[in-house]
Amino acid sequence: MQKEIKLSTEKLRREKKTKRILKILLLAILLLLLLLYFVIGIVYNRGNFSITLDPNLYFDRGLIVYDDPEYKVYRTELLAAAPDTFDNISYRWLPEDIGALGGGSHNGDNYLAYTFYVENLGEDVSEYWSEVIIDDVIRNVDEAVRIRVYKNGEDTTYAKLSATGEAEPGTVPFVDDHLVVRDHVTNFRPGDLIEYTIVVWIEGSDLECTDNILGGEFQVHMDFNSEIDDE
């Protein structure tokens, strides 16, 4: 009888210990998930698109970036607000005049659209390099992303190569997994101004636009540099 009581007591102790360990593990997992949630929030709540200016372009060459022609001040960064929703759409749904709506954000349903300007306020002919850079991708959502760049009204749409290794219809392939496009502007004279409009959306007609990318995230920015390291 005493042996049975002793065995029952040991069993209860093991069960309590196991429950205690499980509670600790569950708590640790919950804390980890909360931490990941806040980290992702910090990364992606700054907006889906940012524009940064190399300070040398301003201090050495007199170039500035701005999104309001009535407010031309030196800034090293512009931030484009994200749209309220970001579901897949067709490029056909984009407004025909999306590249001519003036400065700042003019997002629509499920797409980001942002217009800004680069102007030479200096006294010398200058040059600069621009790059559209992918910062982070979650769940391979970049497989179906489209990035359209309007430059003084002329537009080019960029996309990642298809699963077959070919360019998506009507697009220019990304340079690689981290660089969308690089452009070199030369002979940029005093008083010259270039208007840029950036449009970002998820193309529903892309064969890679499947349920596998649901919940994905995509962060990208555009740099304006005084020089480029080709490496």
Q: Is residue 187 part of a domain?
A: yes
Identify whether residues 170 and 97 lie together within a single domain.
yes
pLDDT, one tens digit per residue, over 8-37 is 566 556 666 676 777 777 766 665 554 444
pLDDT grade for 196, boundaries at 50, 70 and 90: very high
Identify whether residues 117 and 201 lie together within a single domain.
yes
Burial 154-174 (b: 16+ CB within 10 A, else e): eeebbbbebeeeeebeebebb
Identify whether residues 110 and 62 lie together within a single domain.
yes
14 or 222: whose pLDDT is higher? Answer: 222
Q: Is residue 63 part of a domain?
A: yes
In angstroms, the CA 54 to CA 126 distance is 14
Identify whether residues 35 and 147 lie together within a single domain.
no
In angstroms, the CA 71 to CA 26 distance is 53
Identify whether residues 61 and 159 lie together within a single domain.
yes
Identify whether residues 64 and 31 lie together within a single domain.
no
How much is the average pLDDT of 170-194? 97
Q: Is residue 230 part of a domain?
A: no
pLDDT of residue 139: 83
Identify whether residues 158 and 104 lie together within a single domain.
yes
pLDDT grade for 41, boundaries at 50, 70 and 90: very low
Identify whether residues 31 and 86 lie together within a single domain.
no
Identify whether residues 1 and 83 lie together within a single domain.
no
Identify whether residues 41 and 51 lie together within a single domain.
no
Q: For the chain, what is the domain count?
A: 2
The boundaries of the domain holding residue 39 are 1-45
Identify whether residues 165 and 178 lie together within a single domain.
yes
- pLDDT over 70 percentage in the chain: 81
**Could you tell me the two tokens for 57?**
């372009």
pLDDT of residue 215: 74
Identify whether residues 32 and 54 lie together within a single domain.
no
pLDDT grade for 200, boundaries at 50, 70 and 90: very high
pLDDT of residue 12: 58
How much is the average pLDDT of 71-83? 91
Predicted confidence (pLDDT) at residue 134 exceeds the cutoff of 80: yes
Predicted confidence (pLDDT) at residue 184 exceeds the cutoff of 70: yes
Contact 57, 41 (CB under 8 A): no
